[in-house]
Amino acid sequence: MKTVLLNDYLFNIDQSGSGRTTLLVHGSASDYRTWAGQIEPLSRQFTVTTYSRRYHWPNVQISDNQDYSMHQHLNDLIQLIEHLPGHPVNLVAHSYGALLAL
């Protein structure tokens, strides 16, 4: 797992495989580990990128004065997509992450 600074926040991301970039976006009550069972099969064809969204484990946790808005998470997702090599990327998401991906 590596870290990348986006929107003044340090995100943990992981990549495996090769091919077109496929970004997996988790929901509200989870983190990048949600995708553990999908990474190996998908990485046979794609460069699979998983990340934990802002304030989700193992990233820095939210404090009382910080924003946990859809707008903030959407901006983070956009910045991450622009940071990743190979455009366009495939987006695979569930729950709140799917709403962001839409």
- Contact (CB, 8 A) for 73 and 100: yes
Segment 36-45, tens digit of pLDDT: 999 999 999 9
Strands 9-17 and 47-51: antiparallel
Residue of 2, 18, 28, 26 whose CA lies nearest to 83: 2
Among residues 92, 86, 85, the alpha carbon closest in space to that of 51 is found at: 92
Q: Quickly tell me which residue has 């959407």 as its tokens.
A: 74
Burial of 19 (0-12, 13-18, 19+ CB in 10 A): middle
CB 67 within 8 A of CB 30: no
Closest CA to 50 of 14, 26, 75: 14
Residue 63 reports pLDDT greater than 90: no
| pLDDT one-digit tens code per residue, 1-27 | 899 999 999 999 999 999 999 999 999
Higher-confidence residue of 85 and 6: namely: 6
